[in-house]
Amino acid sequence: MSKRMWGGRFAEEPNAILEEINASIDFDRHLYAHDIAGSKAHASMLAKQGIIGAEDAKKIIQGLDTILSEIERGEFKFSRALEDIHTHIEARLEELIGPAAGRLHTARSRNDQVATDLRLFIREAIDRLDQSIAELQLALAEKALAHAGTVMPGFTHLQPAQPVTFGHHLLAYVEMLARDRGRLEDARKRLNECPLGAAALAGTSFPIDREATAEALGFDRPAANSLDAVSDRDFVLETLAAVSICAIHLSRFAEEIVIWASPAFGFIRLSDRFTTGSSIMPQKRNPDAAELVRAKIGRIVGALMQIIVVMKGLPLAYAKDLQEDKEGTFDALSTLSLLIAATIGMVRDLEPDEKRMKAAAGEGYATATDLADWLVRQLGMPFREAHRIAGEIVARAAKARLPLHRLPLSEMQAIEPRITEEVFSILSIPHSVKSRTSFGGTTPLNVRAQARKWLKRLAKERKGG
């Protein structure tokens, strides 16, 4: 057998530059286990259908198992001269079992082979990511329960808005991650169709059983159209889109860690395990782990943009452009896995400064909305009028450099005479937080209930329920 699968048509060797640009073994070697699994399923099906002999199929499968062991033990020799993982495995199979190896490629092409391999790889990666994201949700929910009553400022425009609790803030990310898992689950459902047997683009004249190979490889069904089966990379696009959104969520959280850990905020402290120092400034404690989580999203989104550009102008069916669907994808998936692990570590490691958080929650007249709400409830004002009056009271307090609850009643009554002493009961930070009892609100009772709900759900998932 020629070292190259396609050598019979060509009289001359490829130019060295073509070999350099054409080789994919440096990255598609990651598909070795999936390629071998697909080949074993294909060989078994060919034998069952009487397309190849049972003895040849047995030799092929035994040879493939030997190759799998060699690769996993680090004894397999890779060479760029053999172009890709498929060629490597088939060439080694010929060395092991002789001419019977040549029967393996009956009724298939590298086009449907690599499409199958990549679906298997991404399906496996999605399953691992789902477990990792669930672990991050667990870490966040545990921390949220512990700090369901820890008051902190809530922000809009990064300006003090209304008091919330630290637990409530953390649970917002639990919800985001739940959507990330849902998107990955949806992507997994759609990718779970088997291209194997579509051959180069038109199917095959051999009496293959595509249902059998699909079932053997854990797919829901064979892909219905042979042209689409070999050229579709929607599953890569969709997975990378979901992965990118998840990375954005991690980046947002990392940004908040960077802000919170700065002395200007002083909301949290990260230990030595997730910070580094400066080569020149002895006092520095830099949140490098968070900064790198924030930065590495560029690699993930870049991989998505790359495959979008690759796919945007491709006619049916297969084109060599599709070789560029792997390197960025592999990097994006492994990068996200690393970012999740780092974020889990930081969540478990960080400790909030509850005193500083509570003090900051009272800055910026954060209970002004409570004042407006009181005017609506107690004086029957339309909210817009109450909003205006509360704003004027805030302006007066700011001019006097006093917090709202320290502004004399007479100053408030100068703006709205019907205001009574009772107003001071609703201007405290603890009251403001406790009063947000609507579904999804920040009252500690809600936060505890939601945190426990998530912990119960995640524990049930762990048990396979």
Write the burial class of residue 12 (CB in 10 Å: 0-12 exposed, 13-18 middle, 19+ buried).
Answer: exposed
Decide: 112 and 394 in contact? Cβ < 8 Å.
no
∠ CA 316-320-325 to the nearest 5 degrees?
95
Which residues are registered as beta bridge partners of 194? Answer: 222
Rounded-to-integer distance, Cα 160 and Cα 358, Å: 12
Rounded-to-integer distance, Cα 239 and Cα 247, Å: 12
Could you confirm whether 157 is annotated as catalytic?
yes
Cis peptide before 178 (omega within 30 of 0): no
Rounded-to-integer distance, Cα 170 and Cα 137, Å: 9
Could you confirm whether 278 is annotated as catalytic?
yes
229: Cβ–Cβ under 8 A, 6 or more apart, which residues?
112, 115, 193, 195, 198, 222, 223
Which residues are registered as beta bridge partners of 154? Answer: 162
Catalytic residue among 69, 271, 278, 425: 278
Which residue is it, tokens 């119960």?
456
Which of 220, 221, 235, 225 minimizes the C-alpha distance to 199? Answer: 225
Catalytic residue among 157, 205, 279, 410: 157
* Active site residue ranges: 157, 278
